[in-house]
């Protein structure tokens, strides 16, 4: 007797280019039979007539650790309700381990306040051991964050590493990957990674390559210097042979949109010459950004303490304001999503805040950064929607949420709607005809990212694979989240199975937590 049989569903298996009406049987946490007609009895039978059965979706660009949702909300509601069954965290240079000193976790303070956090691990091995004691709504894997590593050694100092310090980082990275980390991430546009040299990156990427792991790069620039930033990432991959993923690839601000063809040509050429490169993108034209990252690089080098000293110096503050005034960013239309000091600014535009303060938009930006605490996030609409679509359908792309798993009950902030709707929004576009077949679209959400990360027996509907599955009605599929009200779950997903257990059944969450931490093999 099987645990479950799903009958008469249109199976899009994640690896072939055609779909078939099939029955699929599950026993425990595995897929054990796929055939035209399964007659063996089962504890539960679902009628999949008229519905799509796909592999569970895999999110390689997730921040559920940085936003502390692994601990505050382990059910990861907004992810599982859009079909994500496996996520990769530790992105953009920030992970929760290894913690080499008290400064290591400062890398995440731009996303989540560290007040009253309870940490009972130091090494990556201890971290995954702690996670293994917990259960989640979906499976969780992690990278090691470069900033987390580096700040554990130098703290807030802005300097090159000594040879012995580089050796220490290489040793700890190797140990972390042997303990189960899937690779290394970097966030080269953030304050403590801006000054990282290519030599450092080459050395650490070389360790990742030897361990056959994944190296992800949040580019140094997504605006005026995006072409040079892509060149840097490709040069690292080409030289070291590392498995490279560029995180949330985009071209920001209208002045730079003309660079799109150049960027795509660089990626295509590198790939066809043997560089192992892919990228992820999300189906939205608005970014969710740390507000301080809009300041000139020199103003944020050294972290928040140094930055605030610049604000207090009239000469330096005027230089910063001049830089903001001359930038191509349209600050007035930005919306504040959250502040860690709980200012009454959430949901308001910079225009509204500036008017209330009787200052310019640029002066209001500095006021919010100065008084809003380390976590000030904003929404900025600065992407070309056609380019976003073209990135999503590109052969080298995957769909990443660049979000986290939130509950719909949050009241004190806004989050980007991509946390609740990335997968369903993309699939809806595929179904409506965005240049991809359904089979191609499903691959971008499942087998493509699973293979890229090295998640074994996931991302494809095959006998012997884990039973991570999504059953949905393509006619009813819809993302509901908006910027003004992001806390709305996707619709149209009838069932979501993680390791053979339903986390969504008949369109409703079951409160089961069958997900667990994955370790790189």
From first to last of the 521 residues of the chain, give the pLDDT tens digit: 999 999 999 999 999 999 999 999 999 999 999 999 999 999 999 999 999 999 999 999 999 999 999 999 999 999 999 999 999 999 999 999 999 887 777 656 655 666 656 788 999 999 999 999 999 999 999 999 998 998 888 887 777 888 899 999 999 999 999 999 999 999 877 656 666 777 889 999 999 999 999 999 999 999 999 999 999 999 999 999 999 999 999 999 999 999 999 999 999 999 999 999 999 999 999 999 889 889 998 898 777 888 999 999 999 999 999 999 998 899 999 999 998 777 889 999 999 999 999 999 999 999 999 998 877 899 999 999 999 999 999 999 999 999 999 999 988 889 999 999 999 999 999 999 989 999 999 999 999 999 999 999 999 999 999 999 999 999 999 999 999 999 999 999 999 999 999 999 999 999 999 999 999 98
Q: How is residue 218 written in tokens?
A: 């949040």
- Say if residue 247 is in the same domain as residue 303: no
What are residue 94's phi and psi, to 5 degrees? -120, 120
What are residue 227's phi and psi, to 5 degrees? -65, -45
- Say if residue 147 is in the same domain as residue 253: yes
pLDDT of residue 114: 62
- Say if residue 306 is in the same domain as residue 347: yes
- Say if residue 325 is in the same domain as residue 349: yes
Domain boundary among 380, 403, 431: 380
> 458 in a domain, yes or no?
no
What are residue 433's phi and psi, to 5 degrees? 100, 75
Distances (CA, A) of 318 to 313, 315, 376: 8, 5, 21
Evaluated on CA atoms 63, 64, 68, 70, the torsion sign reads negative
Evaluated on CA atoms 410, 414, 419, 422, the torsion sign reads positive
- Say if residue 391 is in the same domain as residue 355: no
- Say if residue 355 is in the same domain as residue 468: no
**What is residue 403's DSSP assignment?**
B
- Say if residue 97 is in the same domain as residue 229: yes
Distances (CA, A) of 193 to 146, 189, 197, 220, 301: 8, 7, 9, 9, 9
State the helix-helix crossing angle for 163-178 and 146-154, rounded to 10 degrees. Answer: 140
pLDDT of residue 108: 62
pLDDT of residue 423: 98
- Say if residue 140 is in the same domain as residue 157: yes
pTM of the entire predicted model: 0.94
pLDDT of residue 120: 86
- Say if residue 223 is in the same domain as residue 279: yes
Q: Which of 225, 291, 287 is nearest to 256 (CA)?
A: 225
Cis peptide before 42 (omega within 30 of 0): no
CATH number at residue 7: 2.30.40.10
- Say if residue 51 is in the same domain as residue 61: no
> 395 in a domain, yes or no?
yes
Evaluated on CA atoms 100, 124, 191, 367, the torsion sign reads negative
Q: Tokens 């972290």 identify what position?
A: 303
Domain boundary among 328, 362, 380: 380
- Say if residue 139 is in the same domain as residue 245: yes
pLDDT of residue 189: 75
pLDDT of residue 115: 62
> 515 in a domain, yes or no?
no
The SS3 assignment for 446 reads coil
Evaluated on CA atoms 12, 15, 16, 17, the torsion sign reads positive
The SS3 assignment for 360 reads coil
Domain containing 16: what range? 2-55+463-481+488-509
Distances (CA, A) of 107 to 66, 69, 138: 9, 16, 25
> 256 in a domain, yes or no?
yes
Helix (H) or strand (E) holding 72: helix 69-72
The answer to whether 489 and 77 have CB atoms below 8 angstroms apart is: yes
**What is residue 292's DSSP assignment?**
G
User: Structurally, how many domains does the chain consist of?
Assistant: 3
The answer to whether 156 and 104 have CB atoms below 8 angstroms apart is: no
**What is residue 223's DSSP assignment?**
S
Rounded Cα–Cα distance for residues 79 and 81 (Å): 5
> 431 in a domain, yes or no?
yes
Q: Tokens 């008949």 identify what position?
A: 506
The answer to whether 216 and 186 have CB atoms below 8 angstroms apart is: yes
Rounded Cα–Cα distance for residues 355 and 361 (Å): 8
Rounded Cα–Cα distance for residues 78 and 490 (Å): 8
Distances (CA, A) of 276 to 15, 89, 211, 269, 270: 19, 21, 15, 11, 8
> 435 in a domain, yes or no?
yes
- Say if residue 137 is in the same domain as residue 163: yes
């Amino acid at each position: 007797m099987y645990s479950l049989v799903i009958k008469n569903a249109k199976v899009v298996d994640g690896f072939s280019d055609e779909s078939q009406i099939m029955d699929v049987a599950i026993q425990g946490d595995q897929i054990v039979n796929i055939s035209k007609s399964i007659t063996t009895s089962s504890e539960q039978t679902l009628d999949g007539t008229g519905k799509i059965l796909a592999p569970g979706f895999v999110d390689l660009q997730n921040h559920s650790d940085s936003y502390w949702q692994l601990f505050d909300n382990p059910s990861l509601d907004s992810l599982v309700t859009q079909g994500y069954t496996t996520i990769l965290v530790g992105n953009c240079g920030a992970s929760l381990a290894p913690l080499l000193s008290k400064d290591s976790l400062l890398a995440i303070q731009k996303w989540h306040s560290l007040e009253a956090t309870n940490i009972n691990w130091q090494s990556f091995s201890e971290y995954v051991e702690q996670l293994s004691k917990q259960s989640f709504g979906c499976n969780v894997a992690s990278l090691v964050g470069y900033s987390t590593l580096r700040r554990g050694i130098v703290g807030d100092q802005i300097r090159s590493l000594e040879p012995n310090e580089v050796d220490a980082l290489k040793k700890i990275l190797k140990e972390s990957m042997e303990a189960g980390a899937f690779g290394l991430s970097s966030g080269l546009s953030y304050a403590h990674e801006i000054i990282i040299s290519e030599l450092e990156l080459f050395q650490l990427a070389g360790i990742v390559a030897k361990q056959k792991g994944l190296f992800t790069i949040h580019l140094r620039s997504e605006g005026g210097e995006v072409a040079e930033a892509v060149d840097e990432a490709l040069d690292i991959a080409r030289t070291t042979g590392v498995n490279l993923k560029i995180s949330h690839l985009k071209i920001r601000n209208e002045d730079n949109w003309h660079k799109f063809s150049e960027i795509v040509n660089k990626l295509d050429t590198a790939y066809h010459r043997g560089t192992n490169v892919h990228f992820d993108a999300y189906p939205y034209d608005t970014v969710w950004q740390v507000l301080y990252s809009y300041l000139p690089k020199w103003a944020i080098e050294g972290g928040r303490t140094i930055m605030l000293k610049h604000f207090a110096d009239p000469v330096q503050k005027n230089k910063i304001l001049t830089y903001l005034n001359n930038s191509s960013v349209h600050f007035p239309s930005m919306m504040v999503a959250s502040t860690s000091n709980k200012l009454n600014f959430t949901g308001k535009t910079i225009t509204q805040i500036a008017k209330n303060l009787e200052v310019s938009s640029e002066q209001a930006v500095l006021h919010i950064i100065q008084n809003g605490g380390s976590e000030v996030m904003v929404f900025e609409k600065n992407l070309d929607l056609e380019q976003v679509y073209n990135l999503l359908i590109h052969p080298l792309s995957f769909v990443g949420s660049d979000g986290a798993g939130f509950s719909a009950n949050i009241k004190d902030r806004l989050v980007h709607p991509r946390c609740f709707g990335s997968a369903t929004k993309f699939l809806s576009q595929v179904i409506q005809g965005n240049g991809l077949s359904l089979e191609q679209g499903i691959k971008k959400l499942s087998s493509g990212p699973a293979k890229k990360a090295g998640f074994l027996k996931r991302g494809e509907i095959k006998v012997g694979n884990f039973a991570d599955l999504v059953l949905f009605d393509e006619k009813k599929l819809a993302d509901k989240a908006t910027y003004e009200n992001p806390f709305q779950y996707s619709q149209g997903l009838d069932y979501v199975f993680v390791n053979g257990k339903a986390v969504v059944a008949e369109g409703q969450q079951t409160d089961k937590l069958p997900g667990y931490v994955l370790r790189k093999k």
